[in-house]
Amino acid sequence: MFIYFDVQHIYYIPQYLPVIKKLIGKGHKCVLVFYKTQDAKLISICNRFITEQQLAAVWLNTNSDAFSFYQQSDADWIIFGNAFPNCDKLTKKTALMQHGIGPKQCYYDVSNTGVTIRFVEGEHRLKRLQDLYPNGHFYDSGYAKLDPLFDNSAEKISLKELGLDPNKKTLLYAPTFYPSSIECMGDQFANDFNDYNIIIKPHFFTLVKPRYKKQRIKLAHWGKSSNVYIADENQFDLIPFLAIADVMLSDASSAIFEFSALDKPVIWCDFYKLRWSYRGIFSFRLKERLDDDINYFNEICHPAKHYQEVITTLRKPIFESMIFKENRARVIKRLAGKIDGLSAERIANYLEENK
């Protein structure tokens, strides 16, 4: 069997990789498809990753080349991590493995593109998608990205090698790019929590897109502190950091669902720096961007409406009752699906059985 994996953005890879490894292990050919329209630094990162992982890859000149490339290929399956233009017109079998399970409306919107099958995470999302797109085809596989956390294959990271103190607890701050809490966090964030190791894992767009320059200025300021480690563009996979963190801060990010799946505490930074076009009479745009699924954060997180509340919450022991933990596990099962380390196996088996 021959499968292409379309890499519109490099941060799709952590969702793909467990499936690719399963398929290669079964003797199938997997090829990543990248785009040369990305900047030179990003292309270098991609090439380094391909070499390190010993994976096959092709590079297309532009996004517009992709349709004809796939149409003329002899692939059994083409896997996408997001919507693909004219996907319904491809005479190939296609699958969607959405790159995140976050609370943004796009999670549901991307199913309006005519893929052969969409792999889905949990009963709640499955039912919503079936109701929204009764002619669509969906399969509840679970979230393959999380598999390495449950089958012990996640990359092992040493706190000492990051320049951090193994005797301290580790706080992971994993904000999204928009709407983001970064610019609303205190300038003294690192000092306010100097009794913690702080690992900051920004979204890839925060690190590379010009419009998020102010976010990078804030990161650079925090990075001067000895208790802070900031992941760079090469470390685009959040999974290894989830594995070593004791507590996480995040905002409107799927990282909250991912970390909660590990039965660890999350503080939800429910405060954001909004563009003027999302404020006042335009506030409806934020509501349109965020799906109602974000309300589940109230059941699995410790909400903070401003930075000072983050300080208050972290300076006291975070107590989570057994009732809270049991409810969180139920919510995660609904929104992330089966958490057994076998999601990639289910996806690989489906592709084999339906080639």
Q: Which residue is listed with tokens 């690192």?
A: 190
Question: Are 225 and 198 contained in the same domain?
Answer: yes
184 plus 139 within the same structural domain:
no
Residue 58, Ramachandran bin (φ over 0: left; ψ between -120 and 50: alpha; else beta): beta
Residue 282: the pLDDT is 45
> What one-character DSSP code corresponds to residue 273?
B
User: Is residue 158 assigned to a domain?
Assistant: no
Q: What is the mean pLDDT of each run of 10 residues along the chain (355 residues)?
A: 94 95 97 88 88 94 88 96 90 92 75 90 90 93 95 92 96 91 94 96 89 94 96 92 96 90 94 65 53 78 95 89 93 89 97 94
Q: Within this chain, do residues 104 and 217 fall inside the same structural domain, yes or no?
A: no
Residue 348 lies inside a defined structural domain of this protein: yes
Classify residue 57: in a domain, yes or no: yes
Q: How many alpha carbons fall within 13 Å on the CB side of residue 217?
A: 8
- Those residues with Cβ within 8 angstroms of residue 70's Cβ, 6 or more apart along the chain or in another chain: 4, 78, 90, 92
**Same domain assignment for residues 89 and 124:** yes
**CATH number for 46:** 3.40.50.2000
* CB-based contact 222:230 (threshold 8 Å): yes
Q: Which domain holds residue 325?
A: 169-336
Is 150 inside any structural domain?
A: no
Could you tell me if 127 and 192 lie in one domain?
no
Task: Please tell me the pTM assigned to this model.
Answer: 0.90
Q: What is the pLDDT of residue 297?
A: 84
Q: Which residue has tokens 């010009």? A: 210
- Going along the chain, which residue ranges are E strands? 2-6, 29-35, 56-60, 77-80, 94-96, 117-120, 138-140, 169-173, 196-200, 228-230, 247-250, 266-269, 302-304
Does a structural domain hold residue 189? yes
Clarify whether residues 192 and 109 are in a common domain.
no
Whether residue 249 sits in one domain with residue 216 = yes
Judge if 348 and 331 occupy the same domain. no
Residues 6+ apart with CB under 8 A from 157: 240, 241, 243, 244
Number of domains into which the chain is organized: 2
